[in-house]
Structure 1
Amino acid sequence: MFRASLMSLLAVAVLAGCSNTGGSSSAPASVADNDGRCQASGAEFAIGKQATPALVEQARKASGSQIAHALGPRDAMTMDYRSERLNLHTDAQGVVIRVNCG
Protein backbone atom coordinates (compact mmCIF):
# COMPACT_ATOMS: atom_id res chain seq x y z
CA MET A 1 0.00 0.00 0.00
CA PHE A 2 2.77 2.42 0.97
CA ARG A 3 4.70 1.55 -2.18
CA ALA A 4 1.69 2.25 -4.42
CA SER A 5 1.15 5.62 -2.73
CA LEU A 6 4.81 6.49 -3.13
CA MET A 7 4.73 5.58 -6.82
CA SER A 8 1.60 7.70 -7.34
CA LEU A 9 3.21 10.66 -5.62
CA LEU A 10 6.33 10.25 -7.75
CA ALA A 11 4.25 10.14 -10.95
CA VAL A 12 2.42 13.34 -9.99
CA ALA A 13 5.71 15.08 -9.23
CA VAL A 14 7.19 14.06 -12.59
CA LEU A 15 4.11 15.22 -14.49
CA ALA A 16 4.05 18.53 -12.62
CA GLY A 17 7.62 19.13 -13.68
CA CYS A 18 6.61 18.70 -17.32
CA SER A 19 3.86 21.31 -17.23
CA ASN A 20 4.31 24.62 -19.03
CA THR A 21 3.15 27.48 -16.85
CA GLY A 22 4.40 30.29 -19.00
CA GLY A 23 6.91 30.87 -21.70
CA SER A 24 7.34 32.54 -25.01
CA SER A 25 5.46 30.16 -27.29
CA SER A 26 2.87 31.84 -29.44
CA ALA A 27 0.95 28.59 -29.76
CA PRO A 28 -1.82 27.93 -27.26
CA ALA A 29 -1.68 24.94 -24.95
CA SER A 30 -3.02 21.68 -26.33
CA VAL A 31 -6.72 20.95 -26.10
CA ALA A 32 -7.51 18.80 -23.06
CA ASP A 33 -9.82 15.79 -22.92
CA ASN A 34 -10.55 15.49 -26.64
CA ASP A 35 -9.45 11.84 -27.06
CA GLY A 36 -7.12 12.77 -29.92
CA ARG A 37 -9.88 14.36 -31.98
CA CYS A 38 -9.03 17.53 -33.84
CA GLN A 39 -10.32 20.92 -32.69
CA ALA A 40 -9.24 23.32 -35.43
CA SER A 41 -9.86 26.43 -33.33
CA GLY A 42 -6.77 25.57 -31.33
CA ALA A 43 -4.61 25.86 -34.47
CA GLU A 44 -5.96 29.16 -35.81
CA PHE A 45 -2.81 30.91 -34.56
CA ALA A 46 -1.02 29.36 -37.58
CA ILE A 47 -3.00 31.37 -40.15
CA GLY A 48 -0.73 33.87 -41.85
CA LYS A 49 2.48 32.04 -40.91
CA GLN A 50 4.86 30.01 -43.07
CA ALA A 51 4.01 26.29 -42.86
CA THR A 52 7.23 24.83 -41.47
CA PRO A 53 7.47 21.37 -39.90
CA ALA A 54 7.78 23.06 -36.49
CA LEU A 55 4.61 25.10 -37.05
CA VAL A 56 2.69 22.01 -38.22
CA GLU A 57 3.73 20.21 -35.03
CA GLN A 58 2.77 23.18 -32.81
CA ALA A 59 -0.62 23.36 -34.53
CA ARG A 60 -1.13 19.61 -34.14
CA LYS A 61 -0.50 19.80 -30.42
CA ALA A 62 -2.61 22.93 -29.98
CA SER A 63 -5.57 21.33 -31.77
CA GLY A 64 -5.28 18.08 -29.84
CA SER A 65 -4.92 16.14 -33.10
CA GLN A 66 -2.98 12.94 -33.54
CA ILE A 67 -2.03 13.76 -37.16
CA ALA A 68 -1.36 17.05 -38.95
CA HIS A 69 -0.10 18.05 -42.36
CA ALA A 70 0.21 21.08 -44.60
CA LEU A 71 -1.53 21.04 -47.97
CA GLY A 72 -0.59 23.31 -50.86
CA PRO A 73 -3.07 24.48 -53.50
CA ARG A 74 -1.97 21.77 -55.95
CA ASP A 75 -1.39 18.93 -53.47
CA ALA A 76 -3.44 15.77 -53.80
CA MET A 77 -5.59 14.99 -50.79
CA THR A 78 -7.78 12.12 -49.73
CA MET A 79 -11.50 12.63 -49.39
CA ASP A 80 -11.87 10.49 -46.27
CA TYR A 81 -12.75 12.27 -43.05
CA ARG A 82 -10.56 11.51 -40.04
CA SER A 83 -11.54 13.19 -36.80
CA GLU A 84 -7.97 13.00 -35.48
CA ARG A 85 -6.35 14.81 -38.46
CA LEU A 86 -5.57 18.55 -38.73
CA ASN A 87 -5.17 20.09 -42.19
CA LEU A 88 -3.23 23.33 -42.69
CA HIS A 89 -4.10 24.70 -46.13
CA THR A 90 -1.45 26.95 -47.65
CA ASP A 91 -1.19 29.34 -50.56
CA ALA A 92 1.40 28.94 -53.34
CA GLN A 93 4.06 30.55 -51.13
CA GLY A 94 3.47 28.06 -48.28
CA VAL A 95 1.65 30.49 -45.97
CA VAL A 96 -1.24 28.98 -44.00
CA ILE A 97 -4.55 30.42 -45.18
CA ARG A 98 -7.01 28.03 -43.51
CA VAL A 99 -7.11 25.25 -40.92
CA ASN A 100 -9.68 22.51 -40.61
CA CYS A 101 -10.13 19.00 -39.32
CA GLY A 102 -10.60 15.91 -41.39
Structure 2
Amino acid sequence: MPWKYASSGLILAVALLAGCSTTSESSSPAKGAATSDSSQSRCDAAAAQFAVGKPASPALLDQARAKAGAQTARVLGPDDMVTLEYRSDRLNLNTDQGATVTRVNCG
Protein backbone atom coordinates (compact mmCIF):
# COMPACT_ATOMS: atom_id res chain seq x y z
CA MET A 1 0.00 0.00 0.00
CA PRO A 2 2.76 2.59 0.77
CA TRP A 3 4.28 1.96 -2.67
CA LYS A 4 0.97 2.82 -4.25
CA TYR A 5 0.93 6.24 -2.56
CA ALA A 6 4.61 6.88 -3.29
CA SER A 7 4.31 5.98 -6.97
CA SER A 8 1.14 8.04 -7.46
CA GLY A 9 2.80 10.99 -5.67
CA LEU A 10 5.85 10.66 -7.92
CA ILE A 11 3.66 10.59 -11.05
CA LEU A 12 1.75 13.64 -9.86
CA ALA A 13 4.99 15.56 -9.19
CA VAL A 14 6.40 14.69 -12.62
CA ALA A 15 3.17 15.76 -14.32
CA LEU A 16 3.17 19.10 -12.50
CA LEU A 17 6.81 19.79 -13.33
CA ALA A 18 6.30 18.83 -16.97
CA GLY A 19 3.55 21.45 -17.24
CA CYS A 20 5.92 24.15 -16.02
CA SER A 21 8.68 23.45 -18.52
CA THR A 22 9.06 25.33 -21.81
CA THR A 23 11.19 24.78 -24.86
CA SER A 24 13.36 27.46 -26.41
CA GLU A 25 11.75 26.85 -29.81
CA SER A 26 8.28 27.83 -28.61
CA SER A 27 9.43 31.02 -26.86
CA SER A 28 11.72 32.33 -29.61
CA PRO A 29 9.03 33.22 -32.17
CA ALA A 30 6.96 34.93 -29.51
CA LYS A 31 9.85 37.20 -28.54
CA GLY A 32 10.55 38.06 -32.16
CA ALA A 33 6.91 38.85 -32.81
CA ALA A 34 6.66 41.07 -29.75
CA THR A 35 9.78 42.97 -30.75
CA SER A 36 8.54 43.69 -34.25
CA ASP A 37 5.09 44.75 -33.04
CA SER A 38 6.41 47.11 -30.37
CA SER A 39 8.88 48.75 -32.76
CA GLN A 40 6.05 49.62 -35.14
CA SER A 41 3.86 51.11 -32.43
CA ARG A 42 6.51 53.21 -30.68
CA CYS A 43 5.63 56.78 -29.98
CA ASP A 44 7.92 59.57 -31.25
CA ALA A 45 7.20 62.67 -29.16
CA ALA A 46 9.58 64.82 -31.22
CA ALA A 47 7.27 64.48 -34.23
CA ALA A 48 4.37 65.94 -32.20
CA GLN A 49 6.18 68.95 -30.74
CA PHE A 50 4.23 71.20 -33.12
CA ALA A 51 1.31 70.92 -30.66
CA VAL A 52 3.10 72.86 -27.89
CA GLY A 53 1.45 76.27 -27.44
CA LYS A 54 -1.78 75.31 -29.21
CA PRO A 55 -5.15 74.86 -27.50
CA ALA A 56 -5.96 71.21 -26.83
CA SER A 57 -8.76 69.78 -28.96
CA PRO A 58 -9.80 66.36 -30.25
CA ALA A 59 -8.58 67.30 -33.74
CA LEU A 60 -5.15 68.35 -32.43
CA LEU A 61 -4.92 65.18 -30.34
CA ASP A 62 -5.67 62.98 -33.36
CA GLN A 63 -3.23 64.87 -35.58
CA ALA A 64 -0.45 64.67 -32.98
CA ARG A 65 -1.11 60.96 -32.42
CA ALA A 66 -0.85 60.25 -36.15
CA LYS A 67 2.37 62.23 -36.58
CA ALA A 68 3.96 60.60 -33.52
CA GLY A 69 3.01 57.12 -34.71
CA ALA A 70 1.32 56.34 -31.39
CA GLN A 71 -1.48 53.81 -31.00
CA THR A 72 -3.29 55.87 -28.36
CA ALA A 73 -3.18 59.45 -27.13
CA ARG A 74 -4.60 61.47 -24.26
CA VAL A 75 -4.79 65.04 -23.00
CA LEU A 76 -3.64 65.51 -19.41
CA GLY A 77 -4.65 68.55 -17.42
CA PRO A 78 -2.52 69.96 -14.59
CA ASP A 79 -4.74 68.40 -11.91
CA ASP A 80 -5.54 65.11 -13.65
CA MET A 81 -4.74 61.88 -11.85
CA VAL A 82 -2.74 59.43 -13.95
CA THR A 83 -1.46 55.91 -13.45
CA LEU A 84 2.25 55.19 -13.24
CA GLU A 85 2.21 52.61 -16.02
CA TYR A 86 4.52 53.36 -18.95
CA ARG A 87 3.22 52.58 -22.41
CA SER A 88 5.63 53.22 -25.25
CA ASP A 89 2.76 53.39 -27.74
CA ARG A 90 0.84 56.23 -26.00
CA LEU A 91 1.21 59.98 -26.61
CA ASN A 92 0.49 62.45 -23.81
CA LEU A 93 -0.39 66.10 -24.37
CA ASN A 94 0.10 67.92 -21.06
CA THR A 95 -1.85 71.16 -20.68
CA ASP A 96 -1.98 74.14 -18.34
CA GLN A 97 -5.07 75.61 -16.63
CA GLY A 98 -6.15 77.29 -19.88
CA ALA A 99 -6.04 73.95 -21.82
CA THR A 100 -2.96 75.05 -23.80
CA VAL A 101 -0.48 72.26 -24.55
CA THR A 102 2.72 72.85 -22.56
CA ARG A 103 4.50 69.52 -23.03
CA VAL A 104 4.37 66.50 -25.33
CA ASN A 105 5.74 63.14 -24.21
CA CYS A 106 5.25 59.42 -24.62
CA GLY A 107 4.32 57.02 -21.88
TM-score range, shorter chain: 0.5 to 0.7
- Equivalence for 2:81: 76
Q: Share of identical aligned residues, percent?
A: 55
Unpaired runs of at least 5, structure 1: 1-33
Cα distance between partner residues in 2 of 1:46 and 1:37? 18
The aligned runs of 1:22-33 (5 Å cut-off) are: none
State TM-score, norm by structure 1: 0.66
Map of 2:70 onto structure 1? 65
Equivalent residue for 1:99, pick from 90, 97, 104: 104
TM-score by length of 2: 0.63
Deviations for 1:40-84, whole angstroms, at most 9, x for unmatched residues?
001000000000000000000000000001000001111100000
| Greater share of residues in helix | 2
Q: Which residue among 46, 50, 68 is the counterpart of 1:41?
A: 46
What is the identity, as a one-letter code, of the residue corresponding to 2:81? A
Alignment-mate amino acid for residue 99 of structure 1: V
Question: Residue in 2 aligned with 1:54?
Answer: 59
Cα RMSD, aligned residues only: 0.7
Question: Higher Cα Rg: structure 1 or 2?
Answer: 2
Moved runs in structure 1, 4+ residues, more than 2 A? none
Residue 36 (structure 1) shift: 1.3
Cα distance in 2 for partners of 1:39, 1:70 equals 16
The alignment covers a number of residue pairs equal to 69
Q: Output the CA distance in 2 between the equivalents of 1:98 and 1:87.
A: 8
